[in-house]
């Protein structure tokens, strides 16, 4: 679709704001929900919230500024929500947890495959999007290893009691940058 990452970045940064995005689109075959464009040339973070943006399930979103720093340092990254927070929530409800300056980076949410696969459910949900959009640069940011195969190199595992702290964010940035090498 795009000849290089610079072209993709130019298009994303000249498109406008979240309010200019098309209405919510549902994929009938996979039930993923998208309100922004998915461009395969970018790096994609499949983002969990509990144990990533805060410790365990405390709901504080204390590491939201850390994620914001990651996105500011890596403007060629976009986010697909893989968190259970996406289930049964509208786009407006899900995005209300994120600062307004981060919302344009978040383009959609994984499908819910609960009951359709027997193991590694989060991995199957993420991989359905990887396959659908032909993504080549992606990282699954999660705190629950059992939701992924043990040999999943794309998994960036956080400690659920430490979350995406600054040290982990530095490692994530290195991983993102190295994916373009």
Distance CA 5, CA 41 (A): 6
HSE, CB side, 13 Å, CA atoms: give it for residue 145.
Answer: 6
C-alpha separations of 90 from 9, 85, 131, 166 in Å: 27, 10, 24, 30
Other CB atoms closer than 10 Å to residue 118's CB: what's the count? 7
Residue 155 and residue 137: Cα distance in Å, rounded? Answer: 12
pTM listed for this prediction: 0.82
> Does pLDDT of 77 surpass 50?
yes
For the stretch 102-154, pLDDT in tens is 999 999 999 999 889 999 999 999 999 999 999 999 999 999 999 999 999 99
Note the pLDDT of residue 65.
98
């Amino acid at each position: 679709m795009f000849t290089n990452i610079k072209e993709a970045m130019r298009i994303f940064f000249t498109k406008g704001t979240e309010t200019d995005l098309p209405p919510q689109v549902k994929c009938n075959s996979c039930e993923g929900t998208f309100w922004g464009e998915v461009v395969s040339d970018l790096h994609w973070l499949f983002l969990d919230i509990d144990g990533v943006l805060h410790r365990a399930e405390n709901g504080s979103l204390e590491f939201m500024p850390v994620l914001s720093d990651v996105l500011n340092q890596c403007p060629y990254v976009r986010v697909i929500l893989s968190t259970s927070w996406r289930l049964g929530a509208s786009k407006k409800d899900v995005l209300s947890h994120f600062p307004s300056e981060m919302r344009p980076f978040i383009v959609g949410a994984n499908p819910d495959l609960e009951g359709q696969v027997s193991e590694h459910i989060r991995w199957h949900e993420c991989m359905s999007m990887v396959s659908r959009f032909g993504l080549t640069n992606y990282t699954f940011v999660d705190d629950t290893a059992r939701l992924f195969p043990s040999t999943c190199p794309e998994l960036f595992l956080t400690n659920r009691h430490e979350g995406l702290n600054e040290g982990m964010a530095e490692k994530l940035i290195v991983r993102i940058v190295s994916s373009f090498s």
